[in-house]
Amino acid sequence: MTPETPELDQLLTTAAAAADPDGGFGWLDEHGSRTPGKVAETWIGARMTHVFGLAAAWGRPGAAELAEHGRRALTGLLHDDEHGGWWSDAHGTGPKQAYVHAFVVLAGATLSRVGLPGGDALLDDALAIWDEHFWDDDAGAAVDEWDAGWTTCAAYRGANANMHGVEAQLAAADAFAARGDDGRAAQLRQRCLRTAQRLVGEARARDGRLPEHFDDAWVAQLQHNRENPADPFRPFGVTVGHQLEWARLVAQLGTVVELPAVLADAPAELYRVAVERGESPDGQPGFVYTLDWDDRPVVPARMHWVMAEALAAAAVLGALTGDPRYGADHERWSALVELLVRDPRTGNWHHELTPEGQVGHTTWTGQPDAYHVAQALLLPRLPVTGSVAESVVRAVG
């Protein structure tokens, strides 16, 4: 029997309301209801499929059916049957994005690892697209975006898509290892190692400040989106939550490969820099969204996912190191979540707050995403492995 997790159960109940009868998962508003007229987006659908796959393995009733609902959309409504790969949304238009495809890989990997039907096939299809179009072996990292027909690759390179590419490939490696394909698992983990070395090196070159944006020669573009600093996926400056997320992912990577000396201290360093510079730099509680290159707040809004990644990183690093300071951080931030961030009506978290603790709308509206919160709630209860799915499977025995 898995432990009682009332907060996770309430979150999953709300997330279930996102299931669209026409396929995929819709955009939940601040009341936990689907937003009328807003088309299903692939990144949300893939993340929800991953979450319900985890929940099914955790033993939550109805979760397997919701994971299957997501899988059907990913293999049907949201899939480009003509060119291969996945559209950005159910309209079937727009570019092919590494960010979106990384989450499809993650969804397939999770379904595969927890043993849900169709997971192996979805993972194989998604990884084939990732290998052919996104993975750049010369760079040891992924490209970011293609046109719909895979004819032109954009010059932009992004740390965000690569971070989630690492997460997805670590999960895929665990799924392949469970299938007995240790060679494929090792290949994927070595890719993750190369990408982590590249991005951590970029942060180290700037006293711990990780650039998010690069050109096609991997030259950092430090002023990218200065005029649009609150962009939800490509903001200007240093994204505090991503440094916390990288800290956790590199720590998880270290459980499945031997980290080279240049990465051995990276989880602690990235975590320390994010907390010292990103937590309450304006005197208000919580983490700011972004900092400039002199560590001054750019977008001071408090994003729910940044707090979730802080909790997840503290849980993972605390479990691996035994350092009580991580536990103290986790306790302090958990109290702040209960005070300000968690919405008792929905069980989800307010996706954006002002520095003063009011619901904000600079970047996000509603509560469409359960992925960060679900993982933050699960990770403190799990052994640390290369992926959340692997950890859940081992926890439930």
Residue appearing with tokens 């208000």: 284
Which residues 6+ apart lie within 8 Å of 34 measured at CB? Answer: 17, 18, 20, 26, 27, 28
Buried b (16+ CB within 10 A) or exposed e, 62-86: ebbebbbbbbebbbebbbeeeeebb
- Whether 330 is catalytic is no
- Residue 386 in contact with residue 63, Cβ under 8 Å? no
Q: Which of 38, 34, 43, 31 is nearest to 16 (CA)?
A: 34
- Residue 29 in contact with residue 366, Cβ under 8 Å? yes
Kindly report the length of the chain.
397
Q: Which of 69, 213, 242, 330 is catalytic?
A: 242
Which residues 6+ apart lie within 8 Å of 42 measured at CB? Answer: 24, 74, 78, 86, 87, 88, 89, 100, 103, 104
Q: Which of 79, 133, 330, 372 is catalytic?
A: 372
- The CA distance from 310 to 242, in Å, is 10
- The CA distance from 133 to 250, in Å, is 24
- The CA distance from 102 to 66, in Å, is 20
- Whether 372 is catalytic is yes
Catalytically annotated residues: 242, 372
